[in-house]
Amino acid sequence: MKNVKKENYTSGYALITGATGGLGRAFANAIAKRRCNLLLTGRSEEKLIALKNELLEKYALNSVQIYAVDLTEEGGRYAFMERIRAAGYKIRLLVNAAGVDVQKALAEYTQEKIAFQCRVNFEAAVSLCRFTIEQRAERLEIVNISSVSGIYPMPYFAIYSATKAALTSFSVALREELKGKNAAVTAILPGAMPTREDIKEQIKGQGIWGKLAAKSPQSVAEYSLKAVGKNKAKVIVGFWNKCMRFTTAVLPQRWKLKFIAKRWSKISKDSF
Ligand SMILES: NC(=O)c1ccc[n+]([C@@H]2O[C@H](COP(=O)([O-])OP(=O)(O)OC[C@H]3O[C@@H](n4cnc5c(N)ncnc54)[C@H](OP(=O)(O)O)[C@@H]3O)[C@@H](O)[C@H]2O)c1
């Protein structure tokens, strides 16, 4: 297969999940700036229409298609894929940004909420990777948005942390499967980003630590696309987050678990 320049996004489409969220929207803008046509998903048709209008006004794009779909529902997800297949859109870049960060003790979860979080954060991302391989343009790049929260097990944030660890592991493995096939996978591990109000409050509540670790969604999107251009397998976003990873790696697991449990047991959040 002929090699297409990695930075060239003008052929094919970029498919972005979670496009109506803070990071997804930042990716949509960063990719639109590179003149790549877009396939955008989120659950709210209203938010998607507003985003589409905004992008068409700001950038010289030929095509922005929107799909309101709940990615946890298999039927809806398959129908959404079928619409893309039938339209013949070829995917050059997939950004799996949809994600839900429920934070509480497992005992406080309903069974439905467990399935919901696992499906959005992991199952849907894997499912879209599979679909994209079939519906790919000549070159394919996949960006899976994981999190630094997946680096260590996190009591009271256990499901989120486990789904992100799974997504990182999956991304690295899939990258190997796609080697030599003009396709690449990059896992992005951001720290906190002030996207929603509850996250902004949480960052503020962490004082100087929160400030040091947080990055704007715009800078994370730009940094991620640069990492894709450099064909990176896995990147932790931000100097502070990289330092934390490096310095805490040598600490015994039981210390880390104790510290995380103490800190996180005080926080409970569920915006979904
Ligand atoms: N913000 C942070 O501090 C942070 C840190 C590390 C990693 N991350 C990861 O970065 C990604 C984006 O985070 P964010 O802060 O931008 O989140 P956000 O603003 O809450 O946006 C989440 C996006 O996911 C979509 N989504 C949620 N459930 C869905 C479902 N069932 N089906 C389809 N779409 C669904 C939402 O659509 P609706 O608009 O319809 O709800 C929204 O577009 C996530 O994967 C998150 O885990 C975030």
How far, in Å, CA of 135 to CA of 204, rounded?
42
Check pocket membership of 193 for ligand 1, CB cut-off 6 A: yes
Mutate to test the pocket of ligand 1, among 15, 17, 20 (most ligand atoms within 8 A of CB): 20
Supply the pLDDT for residue 269: 86
**Is the model's pLDDT at 2 over the cut of 50?**
no
Q: What are phi and psi of 100, to 5 degrees?
A: -125, 130
Cβ neighbours of residue 59 closer than 8 Å, sequence gap 6 or more: 32, 33, 35
Query: Which has more confidence, 175 or 266?
Result: 175
Query: Which has more confidence, 4 or 93?
Result: 93
Query: Which residue type does 197 have?
Result: E
How far, in Å, CA of 58 to CA of 39, rounded?
16
Query: How large a percentage of the chain has pLDDT more than 90?
Result: 88
State mean pLDDT over 80-85. Answer: 98
Please state the atom number of ligand 1 nearest to the C-alpha of residue 119.
31
Cβ neighbours of residue 87 closer than 8 Å, sequence gap 6 or more: 65
Residue ID of nearest Cα to ligand 1 atom 44: 99
Closest CA to 151 of 247, 21, 225, 31: 247
pLDDT tens-digit map of 206-255: 888 888 889 999 999 999 999 999 999 999 999 999 999 999 999 999 99
pTM exceeding the 0.75 threshold for the entire prediction: yes
pLDDT tens-digit map of 134-155: 999 999 999 999 999 999 999 9
Distance from the CA of 3 to the center of ligand 1, in angstroms? 33
Q: Are the beta carbons of 161 and 153 closer than 8 angstroms?
A: yes
Please state the atom number of ligand 1 nearest to the C-alpha of residue 149.
6
> Domains of the chain (ranges plus CATH)?
13-264 (3.40.50.720)
Distance from the CA of 21 to the center of ligand 1, in angstroms? 5
Please state the atom number of ligand 1 nearest to the C-alpha of residue 23.
16
pLDDT tens-digit map of 42-81: 999 999 999 999 999 999 899 999 999 999 999 999 999 9
Place of tokens 């929107």: 66
